[in-house]
Structure 1
Amino acid sequence: MLATLIYRSRLNRTLDPSQLAGLVERASLRNAQLHVTGILLFDGDHFLQVLEGPQASVNAVYERIGKDPRHGNVVELLRDFAPRRRFVDRGMVLFDLRVMKPHVVLRAILRFGTLKYKLASNDRVYKFIRTFIASPSTNGGVVRNTSPEQWRFAIKTSPFASDAPLFHEQPCQFAFQPIIEPLRGNISSLEALIRGPNGGSPQEYFSTIAPNKLHEADLASKGWALAMARRLGIGNHKVAINLLPMSLVKIPGAVDILLNHITRNQLNPGQIIVEVTEDEVISGYEEFTWAIRQLRAAGIGLAIDDFGSGFAGLSLLAKFQPDKLKIDRTIVTDIHLHGPKQAIVKAIIDCCAELQITVVAEGVEKVEEWCWLEAVGIQRFQGFLFARPVLNGVSAINWPQRILHKI
Structure 2
Amino acid sequence: MLSTLIYRSRACEPMSADALDGLIRQARARNASLNVTGLLLFDGVHFVQLLEGPAQSVESLFDTIGRDARHKSVVRLLRDHGPFRRFEGDEMAMVDLRDLAVTQVASLILEKMKKQARLAVSDDRVIKILTWYALARDTSHIVEGEDAANWRFVADEGASSEPCLQPGQTYQFALQPIVEPARRAITSFEFLIRSQSGGSPEQLFASVPPAQRYRIDLESKAFAFRLASRLCLDDIKLSVNLLPMSLVADPSAVDLMLDQIAGCGLSPGQVIVEITEQEAIVNQRDFGAAIERLRRAGIGVAIDDFGAGFAGLSLLADFQPDKLKIDRKIIQNIHADGPRQAIVRAIVEACAALGITPVAEGVERVEEWCWLQAAGVERFQGYLFARPALNGVPAIHWPQRTPPH
Assess same fold via TM > 0.5: yes
* Counterpart AA for 1:153: F
Provide the rounded CA distance (Å) in 2 between the counterparts of 1:296 and 1:389.
Answer: 28
Partner of 2:341: 342
The alignment partner of 1:53 has SS state of strand
Q: In 1, are the aligned partners of 2:278 and 2:309 still within 8 Å (CA)?
A: yes
Q: Please report how far the alpha carbon of residue 158 of structure 1 lies from its aligned counterpart in structure 2 after TM superposition.
A: 5.3
Q: Which moved more, 1:71-80 or 1:13-22?
A: 13-22
Letter in 1 for 2:166: F
Q: State the number of aligned residues.
A: 404
Deviations 1:154-210 (A, max 9, x none): 221354x62242233111111100000011111100000011111111112122211
> What is the one-letter code of the residue matched to 1:3?
S
Matched, 1:207 2:203: no
1:67 and 2:67 aligned: yes
Distance 1:158 1:322 in 2: 33
Map 1:238-253; keep pairs closer than 5 Å.
238-253=237-252
Deviation at 1:371, TM superposition (A): 0.6
The equivalences for 1:117-132 within 5 A come to 117-118=117-118, 121-122=121-122, 123-132=124-133
Q: Alpha carbons of 1:235 and 1:158: their partners in 2 closer, same or farther (altered >3 Å)?
A: farther
Residue 215 of structure 1: how far off its partner (Å): 0.5
The aligned residue for residue 32 of structure 1 is 32
RMSD of equivalent CA atoms? 1.8
Distance (Å, rounded) in 2 between the aligned partners of 1:184 and 1:23: 44
Distance (whole Å) between structure 1 residues aligned to residue 334 and residue 102 of structure 2:
29
1:387-406 aligned within 5 A: 387-403=386-402, 405=404
Mapping for residues 38-187 of structure 1, pairs under 5 Å = 38-113=38-113, 115=115, 117-118=117-118, 121-122=121-122, 123-138=124-139, 141-157=141-157, 159=159, 162-187=161-186
Q: Secondary structure at the match of 1:198?
A: coil
CA distance in 1, matches of 2:327, 2:295: 24
The one-character-per-residue Cα deviations of 1:93-115 (angstroms, maximum 9, x if unpaired) are: 22222334343343221122154
Give the match for residue 310 of structure 1.
309
Aligned in 2, Cα 1:390/1:15: closer, same or farther, shift over 3 Å? Answer: farther
Unaligned runs of 5+ in 1: none
Which whole-Å CA distance do the structure 2 matches of 1:347 and 1:51 have between them?
Answer: 27
- TM-superposed CA distance for 1:119, in Å, is 5.7
SS in 2 for 1:347: helix
SS at match of 1:10: strand
* Residue of structure 1 equivalent to 2:232: 233
Deviations 1:246-272 (A, max 9, x none): 111112300011001100110000000
Q: 8 Å contact 1:15–1:70 — kept in the other structure?
A: no
Residues 321-348 of structure 1, C-alpha deviations (whole Å, 9 max, x = no match):
1000000000000001111101111111
Shift of 1:70: 2.0
Paired with 2:16 and 2:200, the residues of 1 have a C-alpha distance of 53
Letter in 2 for 1:138: T
Match of 1:9, SS?
Answer: strand
366-375 or 225-234, which deviates more:
225-234
Which residue of structure 2 lines up, in the alignment, with residue 8 of structure 1? 8
Given that residues 384 and 397 in structure 2 are in contact (C-alpha distance below 8 angstroms), is that contact kept between their aligned partners in structure 1? yes
Q: Residue 237 of structure 1: CA displacement?
A: 0.3
Matched with 2:223 is 224
Separation of aligned partners in 1, 2:65 and 2:15 = 14
**Partner secondary structure for residue 220 of structure 2:** helix
Is 1:324 the equivalent of 2:320?
Answer: no
* Amino acid aligned to 2:40: L
Q: What amino acid maps onto 2:371 in structure 1?
A: W
Distance 2:243 2:52 in 1: 46
CA contact (8 A) 1:308 1:328 kept: yes
CA–CA separation in structure 2 for the residues paired with 1:221 and 1:28: 63
Quick check: 1:256 aligned with 2:263? no
Q: What's the offset of the Cα at 1:304?
A: 0.1
Shift of 1:87: 0.9
How far apart in 2 are the matches of 1:227 and 1:157?
A: 24
CA distance in 1, matches of 2:96, 2:234: 59
What displacement does 1:146 show? 2.4
Q: TM-score, normalised by structure 2?
A: 0.95
Could you give the per-residue CA deviations for residues 261-299 of structure 1, whole angstroms, max 9, x where no partner exists?
100110000000000000011112221111111100000
Partner of 2:357: 358
Unaligned runs of 5+ in 2: none
CA distance in 2, matches of 1:334, 1:108: 34
- 1:297 is matched with which residue? 296
Deviation at 1:116, TM superposition (A): 6.3
User: 3-state DSSP class of the match of 1:179?
Assistant: strand
Match of 1:372 in 2: 371
Cα deviation 1:71-126 (Å, max 9, x = unaligned):
21111111112221111233212222233434334322112215464265523222
| CA shift for structure 1 position 227 | 0.8
User: Is this contact kept in 2: 1:247–1:254, CA < 8 A?
Assistant: yes
The structure-2 alpha-carbon separation of the partners of 1:124 and 1:272, relative to structure 1 and needing over 3 Å to count, comes to: same
What letter matches 2:378 in structure 1? Q
Deviations 1:39-59 (A, max 9, x none): 111111110000111111111
CA distance in 2, matches of 1:112, 1:98: 17
Contact 2:145/2:367 (8 A) holds in 1: no
Cα distance between partner residues in 1 of 2:257 and 2:277 = 20
User: Residues of 1 paired with 2:200 and 2:105: CA distance?
Assistant: 56
